[in-house]
Protein backbone atom coordinates (compact mmCIF):
# COMPACT_ATOMS: atom_id res chain seq x y z
CA UNK A 1 0.00 0.00 0.00
CA UNK A 2 1.29 3.46 -0.80
CA UNK A 3 1.81 6.07 1.88
CA UNK A 4 -0.93 8.23 0.30
CA UNK A 5 -3.62 5.63 0.95
CA UNK A 6 -2.22 4.13 4.14
CA UNK A 7 -4.76 4.04 6.97
CA UNK A 8 -4.10 3.93 10.71
CA UNK A 9 -4.69 0.56 12.35
CA UNK A 10 -7.31 2.28 14.46
CA UNK A 11 -9.03 5.61 13.91
CA UNK A 12 -7.77 8.42 16.16
CA UNK A 13 -10.08 11.08 17.51
CA UNK A 14 -9.51 14.48 19.09
CA UNK A 15 -12.22 15.72 21.43
CA UNK A 16 -13.34 19.10 20.15
CA UNK A 17 -15.78 21.53 21.78
CA UNK A 18 -17.15 22.72 18.42
CA UNK A 19 -17.33 19.59 16.25
CA UNK A 20 -17.46 17.10 19.16
CA UNK A 21 -14.83 14.87 17.55
CA UNK A 22 -12.13 15.32 14.92
CA UNK A 23 -11.59 12.02 13.11
CA UNK A 24 -8.25 10.93 11.68
CA UNK A 25 -7.85 7.75 9.67
CA UNK A 26 -5.08 8.66 7.24
CA UNK A 27 -1.48 8.03 8.21
CA UNK A 28 -0.36 11.18 6.34
CA UNK A 29 -2.74 13.41 8.32
CA UNK A 30 -1.67 11.83 11.59
CA UNK A 31 2.01 12.35 10.77
CA UNK A 32 1.48 15.96 9.71
CA UNK A 33 -0.32 16.73 12.98
CA UNK A 34 2.67 15.33 14.86
CA UNK A 35 5.22 17.47 13.01
CA UNK A 36 6.89 20.22 15.00
CA UNK A 37 5.78 22.98 12.62
CA UNK A 38 2.14 21.97 13.14
CA UNK A 39 2.56 21.55 16.91
CA UNK A 40 3.91 25.11 17.00
CA UNK A 41 0.36 26.30 16.22
CA UNK A 42 -0.63 25.28 19.76
CA UNK A 43 1.49 28.21 20.96
CA UNK A 44 -0.19 30.82 18.78
CA UNK A 45 -3.63 32.06 19.68
CA UNK A 46 -6.32 32.12 17.03
CA UNK A 47 -7.55 35.56 18.03
CA UNK A 48 -4.34 37.35 19.03
CA UNK A 49 -5.12 40.05 21.59
CA UNK A 50 -8.85 39.34 21.82
CA UNK A 51 -8.38 37.43 25.10
CA UNK A 52 -7.80 40.79 26.77
CA UNK A 53 -11.47 41.58 26.04
CA UNK A 54 -13.16 38.18 25.93
CA UNK A 55 -11.19 36.22 28.49
CA UNK A 56 -12.26 32.85 27.08
CA UNK A 57 -10.60 33.53 23.72
CA UNK A 58 -7.40 31.63 24.51
CA UNK A 59 -7.90 28.99 21.82
CA UNK A 60 -5.03 28.31 19.45
CA UNK A 61 -4.51 28.08 15.73
CA UNK A 62 -3.97 24.37 16.32
CA UNK A 63 -7.63 24.05 17.43
CA UNK A 64 -8.87 25.94 14.41
CA UNK A 65 -6.68 24.05 11.93
CA UNK A 66 -8.00 20.71 13.14
CA UNK A 67 -11.53 22.09 12.89
CA UNK A 68 -11.10 23.19 9.28
CA UNK A 69 -9.67 19.77 8.47
CA UNK A 70 -12.69 18.06 10.06
CA UNK A 71 -15.20 20.15 8.12
CA UNK A 72 -13.46 19.41 4.81
CA UNK A 73 -13.21 15.73 5.75
CA UNK A 74 -16.96 15.59 6.30
CA UNK A 75 -17.62 17.31 3.00
CA UNK A 76 -15.41 15.03 0.93
CA UNK A 77 -16.11 11.79 2.80
CA UNK A 78 -19.85 12.30 3.26
CA UNK A 79 -21.43 14.95 1.00
CA UNK A 80 -19.18 14.58 -2.07
CA UNK A 81 -18.25 10.93 -1.81
CA UNK A 82 -19.34 8.95 -4.90
CA UNK A 83 -20.64 11.98 -6.82
CA UNK A 84 -19.40 11.93 -10.41
CA UNK A 85 -18.57 15.67 -10.37
CA UNK A 86 -16.04 15.13 -7.57
CA UNK A 87 -12.62 13.66 -8.32
CA UNK A 88 -11.87 11.44 -5.31
CA UNK A 89 -8.15 11.50 -6.09
CA UNK A 90 -8.13 15.10 -4.80
CA UNK A 91 -9.10 13.98 -1.31
CA UNK A 92 -5.66 14.01 0.29
CA UNK A 93 -4.64 17.34 -1.25
CA UNK A 94 -7.74 19.09 0.04
CA UNK A 95 -7.44 17.52 3.51
CA UNK A 96 -3.79 18.56 3.82
CA UNK A 97 -4.55 22.05 2.51
CA UNK A 98 -7.34 22.40 5.10
CA UNK A 99 -5.11 21.25 7.92
CA UNK A 100 -2.16 23.41 6.88
CA UNK A 101 -3.81 26.59 5.55
CA UNK A 102 -2.69 28.69 8.57
CA UNK A 103 0.69 27.02 9.09
CA UNK A 104 2.69 30.19 8.45
CA UNK A 105 1.00 32.37 11.08
CA UNK A 106 3.39 33.93 13.53
CA UNK A 107 2.85 35.08 17.12
CA UNK A 108 0.23 37.87 17.28
CA UNK A 109 0.17 37.68 13.52
CA UNK A 110 -1.06 41.05 12.45
CA UNK A 111 1.11 43.20 14.69
CA UNK A 112 4.20 41.12 14.00
CA UNK A 113 3.71 41.07 10.23
CA UNK A 114 3.04 44.76 10.17
CA UNK A 115 6.21 45.75 12.05
CA UNK A 116 8.59 43.43 10.20
CA UNK A 117 6.79 43.67 6.88
CA UNK A 118 6.09 39.94 6.59
CA UNK A 119 3.31 37.92 5.06
CA UNK A 120 2.13 34.75 6.80
CA UNK A 121 1.03 33.28 3.48
CA UNK A 122 4.60 33.40 2.26
CA UNK A 123 5.68 31.59 5.40
CA UNK A 124 3.01 28.93 4.90
CA UNK A 125 4.52 28.33 1.50
CA UNK A 126 8.08 28.40 2.82
CA UNK A 127 7.28 25.84 5.53
CA UNK A 128 5.52 23.52 3.07
CA UNK A 129 8.33 23.69 0.54
CA UNK A 130 11.38 24.23 2.77
CA UNK A 131 13.58 22.05 4.90
CA UNK A 132 10.95 21.10 7.49
CA UNK A 133 9.31 18.03 9.00
CA UNK A 134 6.03 18.87 7.25
CA UNK A 135 7.78 18.97 3.89
CA UNK A 136 9.51 15.68 4.57
CA UNK A 137 6.16 14.01 5.38
CA UNK A 138 4.31 15.46 2.38
CA UNK A 139 7.13 14.45 0.04
CA UNK A 140 6.63 10.85 1.06
CA UNK A 141 3.24 11.01 -0.72
CA UNK A 142 4.97 12.15 -3.93
CA UNK A 143 7.65 14.60 -4.90
CA UNK A 144 5.20 17.18 -6.18
CA UNK A 145 2.73 16.78 -3.32
CA UNK A 146 4.08 19.65 -1.12
CA UNK A 147 3.74 21.95 -4.13
CA UNK A 148 0.16 20.79 -4.74
CA UNK A 149 -0.81 21.52 -1.16
CA UNK A 150 0.87 24.95 -1.36
CA UNK A 151 -0.98 25.72 -4.61
CA UNK A 152 -4.33 24.67 -3.14
CA UNK A 153 -3.76 27.07 -0.23
CA UNK A 154 -2.55 29.85 -2.55
CA UNK A 155 -5.70 29.37 -4.71
CA UNK A 156 -3.64 28.58 -7.80
CA UNK A 157 -4.48 24.88 -7.84
CA UNK A 158 -6.14 23.80 -11.11
CA UNK A 159 -9.14 22.07 -9.47
CA UNK A 160 -11.30 25.00 -8.34
CA UNK A 161 -13.52 22.79 -6.18
CA UNK A 162 -10.48 22.14 -4.00
CA UNK A 163 -9.70 25.87 -3.83
CA UNK A 164 -13.25 26.88 -2.96
CA UNK A 165 -13.50 24.39 -0.09
CA UNK A 166 -10.50 26.12 1.52
CA UNK A 167 -11.02 29.72 0.47
CA UNK A 168 -14.19 31.22 -0.87
CA UNK A 169 -17.02 33.21 0.66
CA UNK A 170 -18.40 30.01 2.16
CA UNK A 171 -15.42 27.83 2.96
CA UNK A 172 -14.40 25.47 5.73
CA UNK A 173 -12.00 28.08 7.17
CA UNK A 174 -14.76 30.61 7.81
CA UNK A 175 -17.27 28.01 8.94
CA UNK A 176 -14.85 26.81 11.56
CA UNK A 177 -13.57 30.11 12.89
CA UNK A 178 -17.00 31.70 13.21
CA UNK A 179 -18.29 28.87 15.37
CA UNK A 180 -15.05 28.37 17.27
CA UNK A 181 -14.51 32.05 18.02
CA UNK A 182 -18.15 32.36 19.10
CA UNK A 183 -17.74 29.37 21.40
CA UNK A 184 -14.55 30.58 23.05
CA UNK A 185 -15.51 34.25 23.34
CA UNK A 186 -18.91 33.22 24.66
CA UNK A 187 -20.86 35.61 22.42
CA UNK A 188 -24.21 34.48 21.10
CA UNK A 189 -23.45 35.51 17.51
CA UNK A 190 -21.55 33.23 15.17
CA UNK A 191 -23.91 30.28 15.32
CA UNK A 192 -25.53 28.85 12.22
CA UNK A 193 -26.64 25.46 11.01
CA UNK A 194 -23.44 24.07 9.54
CA UNK A 195 -24.78 20.50 9.36
CA UNK A 196 -27.45 21.75 7.00
CA UNK A 197 -24.95 23.66 4.84
CA UNK A 198 -22.67 20.62 4.57
CA UNK A 199 -25.59 18.46 3.51
CA UNK A 200 -26.58 20.78 0.66
CA UNK A 201 -23.08 21.47 -0.72
CA UNK A 202 -22.57 20.04 -4.18
CA UNK A 203 -19.54 19.80 -6.45
CA UNK A 204 -20.06 21.39 -9.87
CA UNK A 205 -17.61 21.65 -12.78
CA UNK A 206 -15.37 24.40 -11.41
CA UNK A 207 -16.87 25.31 -8.06
CA UNK A 208 -18.87 24.21 -5.04
CA UNK A 209 -22.54 25.23 -5.06
CA UNK A 210 -25.32 25.14 -2.47
CA UNK A 211 -28.70 23.58 -3.16
CA UNK A 212 -31.26 26.39 -3.00
CA UNK A 213 -33.14 24.62 -0.22
CA UNK A 214 -30.18 25.51 2.04
CA UNK A 215 -30.38 29.24 1.30
CA UNK A 216 -31.67 30.23 4.75
CA UNK A 217 -28.84 28.42 6.50
CA UNK A 218 -26.43 30.31 4.25
CA UNK A 219 -28.15 33.63 5.07
CA UNK A 220 -27.67 32.85 8.73
CA UNK A 221 -23.99 32.10 8.14
CA UNK A 222 -23.47 35.42 6.31
CA UNK A 223 -25.24 37.38 9.05
CA UNK A 224 -23.23 35.61 11.73
CA UNK A 225 -20.02 36.56 10.00
CA UNK A 226 -21.19 40.16 9.74
CA UNK A 227 -22.02 40.26 13.45
CA UNK A 228 -18.82 38.52 14.56
CA UNK A 229 -16.75 41.10 12.72
CA UNK A 230 -18.28 43.99 14.55
CA UNK A 231 -18.78 42.38 17.94
CA UNK A 232 -15.54 40.43 18.21
CA UNK A 233 -12.94 40.82 15.46
CA UNK A 234 -12.97 44.64 15.33
CA UNK A 235 -13.57 45.15 19.01
CA UNK A 236 -11.97 48.54 19.78
CA UNK A 237 -10.43 47.35 23.04
CA UNK A 238 -8.64 44.38 21.52
CA UNK A 239 -7.43 46.72 18.78
CA UNK A 240 -6.08 48.96 21.54
CA UNK A 241 -4.01 46.03 22.80
CA UNK A 242 -2.87 45.33 19.26
CA UNK A 243 -1.85 48.96 18.79
CA UNK A 244 0.29 48.75 21.95
CA UNK A 245 1.80 45.45 20.86
CA UNK A 246 2.72 46.95 17.49
CA UNK A 247 4.32 49.93 19.18
CA UNK A 248 6.35 47.72 21.55
CA UNK A 249 7.86 45.93 18.56
CA UNK A 250 8.42 49.23 16.73
CA UNK A 251 10.17 50.66 19.76
CA UNK A 252 12.39 47.63 20.29
CA UNK A 253 13.34 47.70 16.62
CA UNK A 254 14.07 51.44 16.65
CA UNK A 255 16.19 51.07 19.81
CA UNK A 256 18.12 48.22 18.30
CA UNK A 257 18.78 50.25 15.15
CA UNK A 258 20.02 53.19 17.21
CA UNK A 259 22.55 50.99 19.00
CA UNK A 260 20.69 50.94 22.33
CA UNK A 261 22.18 48.57 24.86
CA UNK A 262 19.42 46.20 26.01
CA UNK A 263 19.71 44.84 29.55
CA UNK A 264 18.28 41.62 28.23
CA UNK A 265 19.68 40.91 24.76
CA UNK A 266 16.76 40.44 22.33
CA UNK A 267 18.35 37.34 20.82
CA UNK A 268 15.15 35.97 19.24
CA UNK A 269 14.45 39.29 17.51
CA UNK A 270 17.92 40.24 16.37
CA UNK A 271 17.64 38.86 12.84
CA UNK A 272 14.18 40.46 12.48
CA UNK A 273 15.49 43.85 13.57
CA UNK A 274 18.27 43.47 11.01
CA UNK A 275 16.12 41.96 8.28
CA UNK A 276 18.33 38.87 8.00
CA UNK A 277 15.98 36.28 9.54
CA UNK A 278 15.66 32.73 8.27
CA UNK A 279 12.75 30.31 8.32
CA UNK A 280 14.33 28.70 11.37
CA UNK A 281 14.35 32.05 13.21
CA UNK A 282 10.68 32.51 12.36
CA UNK A 283 9.71 29.06 13.58
CA UNK A 284 11.55 29.65 16.87
CA UNK A 285 9.03 32.37 17.78
CA UNK A 286 5.71 31.90 19.48
CA UNK A 287 3.55 33.93 21.80
CA UNK A 288 5.28 32.54 24.90
CA UNK A 289 8.58 33.91 23.61
CA UNK A 290 7.12 37.36 22.89
CA UNK A 291 5.39 37.60 26.27
CA UNK A 292 8.62 36.61 28.02
CA UNK A 293 10.47 39.46 26.31
CA UNK A 294 7.69 41.90 27.22
CA UNK A 295 8.19 40.91 30.86
CA UNK A 296 11.92 41.60 30.56
CA UNK A 297 11.32 44.87 28.75
CA UNK A 298 9.21 46.25 31.60
CA UNK A 299 12.54 46.63 33.39
CA UNK A 300 14.41 48.26 30.50
CA UNK A 301 15.87 51.75 30.97
CA UNK A 302 14.09 53.10 27.94
CA UNK A 303 10.92 54.66 29.37
CA UNK A 304 8.82 54.09 26.25
CA UNK A 305 9.68 50.41 25.82
CA UNK A 306 9.20 49.86 29.53
CA UNK A 307 5.86 51.67 29.69
CA UNK A 308 4.40 50.01 26.59
CA UNK A 309 5.47 46.54 27.76
CA UNK A 310 3.90 47.19 31.15
CA UNK A 311 0.69 48.32 29.47
CA UNK A 312 0.44 45.14 27.44
CA UNK A 313 1.40 42.67 30.17
CA UNK A 314 -0.74 44.31 32.82
CA UNK A 315 -3.56 45.35 30.52
CA UNK A 316 -3.37 49.11 30.92
CA UNK A 317 -4.70 49.84 27.49
CA UNK A 318 -5.11 53.02 25.47
CA UNK A 319 -8.35 54.94 25.41
CA UNK A 320 -9.93 55.73 22.05
CA UNK A 321 -12.28 58.06 20.22
CA UNK A 322 -13.99 57.91 16.85
CA UNK A 323 -11.73 59.72 14.42
CA UNK A 324 -11.83 60.36 10.71
CA UNK A 325 -8.25 61.00 9.65
CA UNK A 326 -9.22 62.22 6.19
CA UNK A 327 -11.61 64.81 7.62
CA UNK A 328 -9.68 65.69 10.77
CA UNK A 329 -6.20 65.77 9.30
CA UNK A 330 -5.44 69.24 10.70
CA UNK A 331 -6.65 68.24 14.12
CA UNK A 332 -4.29 65.26 14.03
CA UNK A 333 -1.34 67.54 13.22
CA UNK A 334 -2.35 69.86 16.05
CA UNK A 335 -2.62 66.97 18.49
CA UNK A 336 0.82 65.73 17.50
CA UNK A 337 2.31 69.14 18.24
CA UNK A 338 0.55 69.33 21.60
CA UNK A 339 1.67 65.80 22.53
CA UNK A 340 5.26 66.76 21.77
CA UNK A 341 5.01 69.89 23.90
CA UNK A 342 3.58 67.78 26.72
CA UNK A 343 6.55 65.44 26.45
CA UNK A 344 4.54 62.49 25.11
CA UNK A 345 5.94 61.00 21.92
CA UNK A 346 3.03 60.95 19.41
CA UNK A 347 4.77 58.31 17.35
CA UNK A 348 4.06 55.80 20.12
CA UNK A 349 1.19 57.37 21.99
CA UNK A 350 -1.17 58.83 19.40
CA UNK A 351 -2.20 56.12 17.02
CA UNK A 352 -4.78 56.12 14.28
CA UNK A 353 -6.25 52.74 13.37
CA UNK A 354 -8.99 51.64 11.01
CA UNK A 355 -10.70 48.34 10.32
CA UNK A 356 -13.07 47.44 7.57
CA UNK A 357 -15.00 44.50 6.27
CA UNK A 358 -17.15 43.53 3.35
CA UNK A 359 -19.67 40.97 4.65
CA UNK A 360 -20.49 39.50 1.24
CA UNK A 361 -19.80 40.49 -2.31
CA UNK A 362 -21.15 39.49 -5.67
CA UNK A 363 -18.83 38.96 -8.60
CA UNK A 364 -16.99 42.05 -9.84
CA UNK A 365 -14.60 40.77 -12.48
CA UNK A 366 -11.30 42.55 -12.66
CA UNK A 367 -11.90 44.68 -9.59
CA UNK A 368 -9.50 44.72 -6.73
CA UNK A 369 -10.23 42.08 -4.12
CA UNK A 370 -12.52 40.26 -6.51
CA UNK A 371 -14.38 37.50 -4.70
CA UNK A 372 -15.98 34.34 -5.88
CA UNK A 373 -19.67 34.64 -5.00
CA UNK A 374 -21.83 31.94 -3.44
CA UNK A 375 -23.89 30.13 -6.06
CA UNK A 376 -27.20 28.42 -5.46
CA UNK A 377 -28.29 25.37 -7.38
CA UNK A 378 -31.96 25.88 -8.26
CA UNK A 379 -34.39 22.93 -8.59
CA UNK A 380 -34.36 23.52 -12.37
CA UNK A 381 -30.59 22.88 -12.42
CA UNK A 382 -29.92 26.54 -13.08
CA UNK A 383 -27.18 28.28 -11.05
CA UNK A 384 -28.02 31.65 -9.45
CA UNK A 385 -25.84 34.03 -7.47
CA UNK A 386 -26.96 34.24 -3.82
CA UNK A 387 -27.68 37.98 -3.56
CA UNK A 388 -30.12 37.72 -6.50
CA UNK A 389 -32.21 35.24 -4.57
CA UNK A 390 -31.85 36.43 -1.00
CA UNK A 391 -33.11 39.89 -0.04
CA UNK A 392 -31.27 39.69 3.28
CA UNK A 393 -27.95 39.06 1.60
CA UNK A 394 -28.67 41.62 -1.10
CA UNK A 395 -29.13 44.26 1.61
CA UNK A 396 -25.52 43.89 2.80
CA UNK A 397 -23.86 42.86 -0.47
CA UNK A 398 -20.92 44.91 -1.62
CA UNK A 399 -21.22 47.29 1.32
CA UNK A 400 -17.96 47.89 3.03
CA UNK A 401 -18.16 49.10 6.60
CA UNK A 402 -15.18 50.92 8.00
CA UNK A 403 -14.40 51.99 11.52
CA UNK A 404 -11.77 54.57 12.44
CA UNK A 405 -10.36 55.12 15.88
CA UNK A 406 -7.69 57.27 17.46
CA UNK A 407 -5.86 55.64 20.41
CA UNK A 408 -4.03 57.43 23.22
CA UNK A 409 -3.02 56.90 26.89
CA UNK A 410 -5.66 58.84 28.75
CA UNK A 411 -3.91 58.20 32.08
CA UNK A 412 -0.90 60.27 30.90
CA UNK A 413 -3.20 63.21 30.35
CA UNK A 414 -5.19 63.04 33.55
CA UNK A 415 -2.39 62.35 36.01
CA UNK A 416 -1.32 65.16 38.29
CA UNK A 417 1.95 66.88 37.68
CA UNK A 418 3.48 69.22 35.16
CA UNK A 419 1.85 70.84 32.13
CA UNK A 420 -1.65 70.54 33.52
CA UNK A 421 -3.15 73.25 31.31
CA UNK A 422 -1.62 71.76 28.18
CA UNK A 423 -2.89 68.28 29.01
CA UNK A 424 -6.33 69.69 29.69
CA UNK A 425 -6.26 71.32 26.27
CA UNK A 426 -5.35 67.96 24.70
CA UNK A 427 -8.15 66.19 26.53
CA UNK A 428 -10.62 68.77 25.25
CA UNK A 429 -9.53 68.02 21.69
CA UNK A 430 -9.84 64.28 22.30
CA UNK A 431 -13.46 64.45 23.45
NI1 LIG B 1 -7.95 29.81 9.08
Residue 319 belongs to what H/E stretch?
strand 319-322
Count CB atoms within 10 A of the CB of residue 289: 15
Average pLDDT of the chain to the nearest whole number: 94
Cα 155 to averaged position of ligand 1 atoms, centre (Å): 14
Distance CA 300, CA 306 (A): 6
Same-domain status, 38 and 185: yes
Q: Which of 199, 218, 233 is the last residue of a domain?
A: 233
Distance CA 212, CA 180 (A): 26
Q: How confident is the model at residue 418 (pLDDT cuts 50, 70, 90)?
A: confident
Cα 173 to averaged position of ligand 1 atoms, centre (Å): 5
Residue-wise pLDDT tens digits, 118-129: 999 999 999 999
Residue 407: give its domain's CATH number.
Answer: 1.20.1250.30
Residue-wise pLDDT tens digits, 94-120: 999 999 999 999 999 889 999 999 999
Cα 153 to averaged position of ligand 1 atoms, centre (Å): 11
- 51 CB-near residues (< 8 Å, 6+ apart): 45, 57, 58
pLDDT value of position 287 = 97
Same-domain status, 63 and 78: yes
Averaged over 349-374, what is the pLDDT? 74
pLDDT value of position 147 = 98
Cα 230 to averaged position of ligand 1 atoms, centre (Å): 18
Cα 328 to averaged position of ligand 1 atoms, centre (Å): 36
pLDDT value of position 10 = 97
Cα 333 to averaged position of ligand 1 atoms, centre (Å): 39
Cα 268 to averaged position of ligand 1 atoms, centre (Å): 26
* In-domain check, residue 269: yes
Q: For a pLDDT cut of 70, what percent of the chain falls above it?
A: 98
Q: How confident is the model at residue 369 (pLDDT cuts 50, 70, 90)?
A: low
Cα 229 to averaged position of ligand 1 atoms, centre (Å): 15
Q: How confident is the model at residue 365 (pLDDT cuts 50, 70, 90)?
A: low
Q: Is the dihedral of CA 80, 84, 90, 91 positive or negative?
A: positive
Q: Would the pLDDT of 370 be above 60? A: no
Q: Would the pLDDT of 187 be above 80? A: yes
* Enclosing domain of residue 264: 235-316
Q: Which of 286, 301, 316 is the last residue of a domain?
A: 316
* In-domain check, residue 395: no
Cα 116 to averaged position of ligand 1 atoms, centre (Å): 21
Same-domain status, 324 and 242: no
Q: How many residues are present in the chain? A: 431
Q: Which of 233, 254, 278 is the last residue of a domain?
A: 233
Cα 404 to averaged position of ligand 1 atoms, centre (Å): 25
Cα 62 to averaged position of ligand 1 atoms, centre (Å): 10
- 114 CB-near residues (< 8 Å, 6+ apart): 246
Cα 64 to averaged position of ligand 1 atoms, centre (Å): 7
Residue-wise pLDDT tens digits, 52-87: 999 999 999 999 999 999 999 999 999 999 999 999
Q: Would the pLDDT of 380 be above 90? A: yes
Domains in the chain, number: 3
Same-domain status, 62 and 173: yes
Residue-wise pLDDT tens digits, 157-167: 999 999 999 98
Averaged over 252-258, what is the pLDDT? 97
Q: Would the pLDDT of 366 be above 60? A: no
Cα 390 to averaged position of ligand 1 atoms, centre (Å): 27
Residue 147: give its domain's CATH number.
Answer: 1.10.3210.10
* In-domain check, residue 382: no
Cα 227 to averaged position of ligand 1 atoms, centre (Å): 18
Averaged over 312-341, what is the pLDDT? 95
pLDDT value of position 104 = 96
What separation in angstroms does the CA of 85 have from each of 80, 161, 197, 207, 298? 8, 10, 18, 10, 59
Same-domain status, 187 and 266: no
Same-domain status, 209 and 337: no
Same-domain status, 19 and 63: yes
Same-domain status, 336 and 311: no
pLDDT value of position 358 = 74
Q: How confident is the model at residue 33 (pLDDT cuts 50, 70, 90)?
A: very high
pLDDT value of position 55 = 97
Cα 174 to averaged position of ligand 1 atoms, centre (Å): 7
pLDDT value of position 337 = 96
Distance CA 338, CA 325 (A): 17
Give the pairing type, strands 383-385 and 375-377. Answer: antiparallel
Q: How confident is the model at residue 399 (pLDDT cuts 50, 70, 90)?
A: confident
Q: Would the pLDDT of 307 be above 70? A: yes
* Higher-pLDDT residue of 348, 359: 348
Same-domain status, 122 and 263: no
Q: Would the pLDDT of 417 be above 80? A: no
What separation in angstroms does the CA of 62 have from each of 35, 38, 104, 114? 12, 7, 12, 22
Q: For a pLDDT cut of 90, what percent of the chain falls above it?
A: 86
What separation in angstroms does the CA of 359 have from each of 98, 134, 142, 373, 399? 22, 34, 39, 12, 7
Q: Would the pLDDT of 361 be above 80? A: no
Q: Would the pLDDT of 48 be above 80? A: yes
Q: How confident is the model at residue 270 (pLDDT cuts 50, 70, 90)?
A: very high
Same-domain status, 194 and 337: no
Same-domain status, 220 and 107: yes
* In-domain check, residue 385: no
Averaged over 29-41, what is the pLDDT? 98
Amino acid sequence: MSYATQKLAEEKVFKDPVHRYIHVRDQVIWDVIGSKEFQRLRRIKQLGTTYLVFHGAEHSRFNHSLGVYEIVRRIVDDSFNGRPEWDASERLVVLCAALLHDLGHGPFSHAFENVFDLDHEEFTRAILLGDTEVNEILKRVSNDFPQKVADAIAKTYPNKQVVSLISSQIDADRMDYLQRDAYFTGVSYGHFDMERILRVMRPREDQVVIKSSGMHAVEDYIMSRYQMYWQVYFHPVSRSAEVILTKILHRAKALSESGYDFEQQPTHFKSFFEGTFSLKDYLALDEGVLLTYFQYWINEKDPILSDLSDRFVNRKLFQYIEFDLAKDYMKMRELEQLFKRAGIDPEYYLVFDSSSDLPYDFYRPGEEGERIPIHLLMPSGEIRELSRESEIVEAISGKRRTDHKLYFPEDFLTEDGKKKALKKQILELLK
